Structure 1
Amino acid sequence: MESKRQQKFAGIIQEDLAAIFQREGMNYLPNTLVTITKVRVTPDLAIARVFLSFFNNANSQLSLATVKQHASEIRYKLGARIKDNARIVPQLEFFIDDTSEYVERMDKIFDKISKEDRQPDTEEGE
C-alpha cells in the first residue's frame, strides 16, 4: 500500500512527465502519442516506475526501447521541473501499460462467448 507521500509524489511526476512527453515526445517518437497511465514510487522515493501507453504506433516494444534510450535526458528535464518539490530526482523505469490491450482481448472473448449457442438448461430429475 502506497503512503500519501508516495501517491502525491507519483502524481507530481506523472503530471510533469506528461508535459515533457507532450512537448518533447515528437523528438523521441514522431507521429506517436505517449500517455503516462500510471506512476508508482518506491517508499524511499528513489525509483519511479512509469507505465506508458502508445497510440498511433505499430511496435510498442520498439517505442519503449526508444524511451529507455532517452531516459537520462527525460530524467534531467523532470529534475528541472520538480526541483522545488523534491530533494532527489528518482531513477525512471519505463514499462508498457497493456491494460487497454487486456481489456480489448477480454471484450473479444466475452463477445465470442455471447455469440455461441446456449445449451438449454437441463432439469434435474429427468
Structure 2
Amino acid sequence: MAKYRGNRINEEVRKEVSNIIQNEIRDPRLTAMISVTKVDVTKDLRYAKVYISLFGNEDSKKSTLDALKSSVGFIRREVGHRISLRYTPEVIIELDNTIEHGMHIDALLEQIKEKENHDNE
C-alpha cells in the first residue's frame, strides 16, 4: 500500500512541476524544450529529485538548466501551495539523458541495418 502511495505522490509532483515550468516560470534563459520525465520523492517527503530532458542546442540546454536550478525555490513554494503534503520537498533538478541515449542507440542500429542491407546486395 505504501508503494502505491509513493507512486501517486511522485506522479502528482511530476504533473505540478511540469505545469509550473511550462506556465509559471518567466525566465528568458528558458529557450530549450523542457520535459519532466520522472520525479522521485523520498519516503520521508523531504526531497524530490526532478529528472528533466532538454531538447535544443548545447548553449540553450546549458542556459535552460541554469535557469531551472536557480528557480528551485520558486518551484518548491508553488508545489507547497498546490499539493497538500506533510512537508514540502526540497527540489533537486537532475538532467535525464535517457531519451538522447535511446536516440543514439536507435541511430546505431539503423546504421547496422543499412550496412547489412548494403552487404547483401
> Scaled by the length of structure 1, what TM-score is found?
0.79
Distance 1:41 1:30, change over 3 A: closer
Query: Once the 2 structures are TM-superposed, how far is the Cα of residue 24 of structure 1 from its aligned partner?
Result: 2.0
For the 8 Å contact 2:45–2:86, the answer to whether it is kept is: no
Percent same amino acid at aligned positions? 26
- Quote the RMSD (CA, aligned, Å): 2.3
Equivalent AA in structure 2 for residue 96 of structure 1: L
Extract unaligned runs of 5+ from structure 2: none
Deviates more, 1:20-29 or 1:111-120: 111-120
Does residue 11 of the first structure (1) align with residue 11 of the second (2)? yes
Once the two structures are overlaid, the 10-residue window that deviates more, 55-64 or 8-17, is: 55-64
Aligned residues: 117
Please give the residue correspondences for 1:1-126 in structure 2 after superposition, counting only pairs within 5 Å. 3-27=3-27, 29-59=29-59, 60-82=61-83, 85-117=84-116
Structure 1 residues without counterparts, runs of 5 or longer: 121-126
Structure 1 residues 27 and 43, CA, compared in 2 at 3 Å: closer, same or farther? same
From the superposition, tell whether residues 45 and 28 of structure 1 become closer, same or farther in structure 2 (CA, over 3 Å). farther
Alpha-carbon distance in structure 2 between the residues aligned to 1:27 and 1:80? 21
Residue 66 of structure 1: CA displacement?
A: 1.9
Decide whether the 8 Å contact of 1:20 with 1:77 is kept in 2.
yes
> 1:32-91 CA deviation, whole Å, 9 max, x = no partner?
332211111112121111011223453323322221111112111111111xx2111001
Q: Which amino acid aligns with 2:111?
A: K
- TM-score of the superposition, structure 2-length normalised? 0.82
